[in-house]
Amino acid sequence: MTATHRILHLSDPHVTGSGIDEDGVDAAGALDRILYDARFVKEIDVVLVTGDIADDGSAEGCAAVLQRVGAFARERGIPHVYTTGNHDAREPFAKVFGSAHLGPDGADLGESGPDRAAVSEVAGLRIVTLDSLVPGAVHGVVGEDQLDWLSGVLSRPAPAGTVVALHHPPIAIGTSPSMADVNLRNGDRLAQVLAGSDVRAVLCGHYHAQVSGFLAGIPVWVTPGVVTRIDLTAPSHLVRGVLGAGATVVDLGGPFSPMFHVLQARDPRAGEQVYLIDTRSDADAAGEE
């Protein structure tokens, strides 16, 4: 049995109106590269982008991503779906994307919930996007009004099940202090809502790294970032960002469902360091020298 649904999962393009992010990376070029290298992936049913659309939160950054992802989706006759991230701002996001569940022609297909949450169906597969944005913060929270709305949505099973997408992961690698500091702060409440539902996978971004785990027995997948990826070979107190756009193909409905496999853009500069952040306090750092 082959997959019944295939999702191209992108996250963290961090595009601006100029195309260059705050670290000086050609974010628009990184998005172009991964979309170009994904052109031969067969039978994609929907493109999903889980947040940090615009590095500066601008409508111009959102529009630049919509232009590129929208063109990819239009060529294939498939819908495209977006969530907010911590770098995004709700008003510009809504101005550009509406419900952010868009048809191949850009028509708004979503039913909006609280904040920028929304839901739509793709050939029987229900896609729910949650808004985990906390303005001015790096960590995420899904508000109680959204969780109540989500509970109502999930009270009726979808023909092909449900995928829940949000920016901030409800999981973290135990040896990465930075992940535990910037993740979804109320993942336990989300787990309570998802438990026993027809949700087949929770898809996230934010970490710029590929990470998997479980929440209430449901697979959670964190796709690598488009603009940069985090090099997890660095010591745990360092956050090392390097070039190298990535994406995930998510297959649902096959014998090993859900299955996730990562795509990497062909970039001659992949692995080149962009930034290095020491998460220790000055006192801690001095004590280790």
Question: pLDDT tens for residues 183-196?
Answer: 999 999 999 999 99
Domain count, the chain: 1
Query: What is the phi/psi pair of residue 125, to 5°?
Result: -85, 120
Tell me the average pLDDT across 76-102.
98
pLDDT for 288: 53
Compute how many other C-beta atoms are within 10 angstroms of the C-beta atom of residue 9.
Answer: 27
pLDDT band at 219 (very low <50, low <70, confident <90, very high): very high
**Structural domain range at position 138:** 5-288
Distance CA 200, CA 184 (A): 19
Q: What DSSP state is assigned to residue 259? A: E
Q: What is the predicted pLDDT for the residue at 280? A: 81
Question: pLDDT band at 254, cuts 50/70/90?
Answer: confident
Residue 31 is predicted with a pLDDT of 98
What pLDDT sits at residue 289? Answer: 47
Which amino acid appears at position 188 of this protein? D
Q: Stretch 96-108: mean pLDDT, rounded? A: 98
pTM: 0.95
Question: Could you tell me which of 60, 71, 61 has the C-alpha nearest to residue 14?
Answer: 61
Higher-scoring residue by pLDDT: 282, 63:
63
Question: What is the predicted pLDDT for the residue at 286?
Answer: 44
Specify the higher pLDDT residue, 100 or 284: 100
According to the model, what pLDDT value does residue 205 have? 98
* pLDDT recorded at residue 175: 87
Residue 287 confidence (pLDDT) above 70: no
Residue 67: predicted pLDDT: 98
The string of pLDDT tens digits covering residues 147-201 is 999 999 999 999 999 999 999 999 999 889 899 999 999 999 999 999 999 999 9
Q: What is the mean pLDDT of the chain?
A: 95
Q: What are phi and psi of 213, to 5 degrees?
A: -170, -160
Question: How much is the average pLDDT of 19-45?
Answer: 96
Position 3 pLDDT exceeds 80: no
Share of the chain above pLDDT 90, in %: 92
In the predicted model, is pLDDT for residue 282 greater than 60? Answer: no
pLDDT of 184 reads: 98
Predicted local distance difference test score (pLDDT) of residue 283: 42
- CATH number of the domain enclosing 176: 3.60.21.10
* DSSP assigned state of 280: S
Average pLDDT over every residue of 93-111: 98
- pLDDT, residue 221, reads 98
d(CA 143, CA 132): 8
Looking at residue 98, its amino acid is: G
Q: Residue 2: which pLDDT band, with cuts at 50, 70 and 90?
A: low
